[in-house]
Chains A and B, each alone.
Chain A
Amino acid sequence: MIDIAGILAENILYIVMVTLGGMLISWSVHFVPVGGAPAAMAQATGIGTGTVQLAAGAGLTGLVTAGAVMNVSDSFALVVASGAVGAMIMIAVTMIVGTLVYVYGVGVPPASAKVDYDPITKDRQDLYVSQGTEGHGLPTVSYVSGVIGGALGGIGGATIYYSLMNTSTGLSQSDLVALASIFAVGIFFVNAVIPSYNIGGTIEGFHDPKFKKWPKAVFASFVATLMCAFVGVLAIGGL
């Protein structure tokens, strides 16, 4: 018989950390400038793919880096920072190559349709938006926002992985790594999907009016991740 109360009492800190990690991922997704199908046709500012896809691609790359570092170090701060760096590198590379394609392959300058002036560079935006589109490419503000989103997502994913790896269990190390990493990937996806209801296909970054809706998604993620955390910690702790 599994001692459910005992496992939960012993690992309460990790349940809290997993939940916080999930909430962080949910918040991070709002920073990532995605334009969905319209952006793939250069009809909207941002990266031309779906919210979940890009956030997951970046966050999971961070998880790979965090997993490699956790293999050789016990420092929570270092593991989390490595997760952030891995995710930031993935999203920064994707966005820079995206910019190359928009500028040299499609021939449109980066421009935001949500603001008249870029909040970071103070460049005029509205004149550079082509007719019949909602902006295109990645102006500096969207780029910086994407990097912040990648970092937060990487931190969230690494926190979840670190917490699950430290849950008290009778599993062998290799089984624990496999189980913890699969739970981390699963919880990541749950929290990458929830904000897409707020974003509704396109968001330009933290300067977009839709960004202000983040508290709702983060609250929903709190509820969802708490349940995931119970299941994850119980499954790993009970084995």
Chain B
Amino acid sequence: MEPLMGMGVLALMGAAATIAGTTEDLESDVGSQSNPNSQVQLAPQMMYPHRIYNKAISGEPPSNALICAIGGTVASVLMTAGLSVVFAIAVGALIATAVHGTYAITSYMGRTASQKRFKQPIYLDIIRSHTPVIMGYAFITTFCILVVSYIMVAVLGHPFPLALIAFIWGITVGAIGSSTGDVHYGAEREFQNVEFGSGLNAANSGNIVRKAESGLRNGIDNSWFCAKFGGPVTGLAFGMTVFLSGWVTAVFDPAISITWGWLSVVAGVVLVLLMIIWNRRIEVAAREAYGPYKEDEEVAA
């Protein structure tokens, strides 16, 4: 492929992946999934009933891998039947979304019903208002990941089948979403009642914020807040992963010669070294800006 064309394709993939990452994180914030949901689940047991959607279908990577694999399989079948690519991907994403919506509702009903003894109500208006939002985000995520996967298979000639690539990117986007954006939801949004930057004492577990900017807080309020930082950085992370892992082989194409293949490896290692230095610089800046929590005492040698 022409190098310029390759870069254009990569840019498109990176853009689609960025959107997928953002919506993946916001989907998990509206529905409260993955690790921060442990606090939403714990709150009623600590006598803090709330109006936050409580869905933890599974960890984010398996749940996203499921919807992406369903979407990829349906899209593959429809494309084999001769339907257009855009139609096949859209219908694949739609069916995956329907499955996801079913899981979300049963998960909310089941989890909340099991907390009856802690006087946690099941709010039907929360199901009606939140489930379409969850499904909407899941649709965008699945659609964008199918676009990335389809481009990899059809344009870049990746040997893996479409459904498997979609599955793998589903695992990856879930792993990234639960590692990055969820921290903003779990460590900041759920605990805005403690001072910013004071750290979260384990004794505060379960004492999540239940009052919103107006009225009682629900999952949509959480996604409004996380859309300002947690969601976009998750998109940045997934977009960078898809873009950079493809960029090294697009610039130094191993198909030309084995030397170019090794150059792509070197380029990847250089990128990683740069990120190690970047992380160190942020660490130093944070230590200087925030300072230590305790007074210096001599540590035992």
Contacts and interface: CB of A to CB of B under 8 A. Distances in A.
Interface string A120-154: 01011011111111001111100110010000000
B199 A93 contact: no
A47 B201 contact: no
B31 interface: no
Interface of B: 34-36, 38-39, 59-62, 152, 156-161, 164-165, 167-169, 171-172, 174-176, 178-184, 186-188, 190-191, 196-205, 229-230, 233-234, 236-237, 240-241, 244-245, 248-249, 253-255, 258, 261-262, 264-265, 268-269, 271-272, 275-276, 278-280, 282-283, 285-287, 289-290, 292-296, 299
B183 A56 contact: no
B245 A94 contact: no
A72 B275 CA distance: 29
Contact of B265 (A38, A78, A98): A78
Given A82-B264, A108-B286, 12 more contacts: A42-B200, A68-B156, A78-B262, A93-B176, A93-B244, A96-B237, A102-B183, A107-B290, A130-B201, A130-B293, A140-B276, A174-B159
21 contacts: A53-B61, A67-B158, A69-B261, A89-B248, A93-B241, A94-B179, A95-B179, A99-B279, A103-B285, A103-B286, A105-B183, A107-B196, A128-B292, A130-B201, A130-B293, A132-B201, A133-B199, A178-B164, A181-B161, A181-B164, A185-B164
A101 B164 contact: no
A96 B278 contact: yes
Interface stretch (A5-13, A58-66, A210-218, A231-239): A58-66
Chain B, interface SS category: helix
A50 interface: yes
B164 A140 contact: no
Best-buried of A41, A50, A92 by chain B (most CB within 10 Å)? A41
* Interface residue range, chain A: 35 or more
A103 B184 CA distance: 10
A105 B253 CA distance: 38
Contact of B282 (A38, A64, A99, A185): A99
Contacts of B249: 65, 68-69, 82
A92 B245 contact: no
Contact of B183 (A39, A177, A178): A39
A88 B241 CA distance: 10
A99 B262 CA distance: 30
Interface of A: 36-43, 47-50, 53-54, 56-58, 60-61, 63-65, 67-73, 75, 78, 81-82, 84-86, 88-90, 92-110, 116, 121, 123-124, 126-133, 136-140, 143-144, 147, 173-174, 177-178, 181-182, 185
Best-buried of A67, A109, A110 by chain B (most CB within 10 Å)? A109
B261 A67 contact: no
A88 B290 contact: no
A140 B280 contact: yes
A225 B287 CA distance: 44
Given A57-B175, A73-B261, A147 B276 contact: yes
B187 A41 contact: yes
Nearest to A85: B268
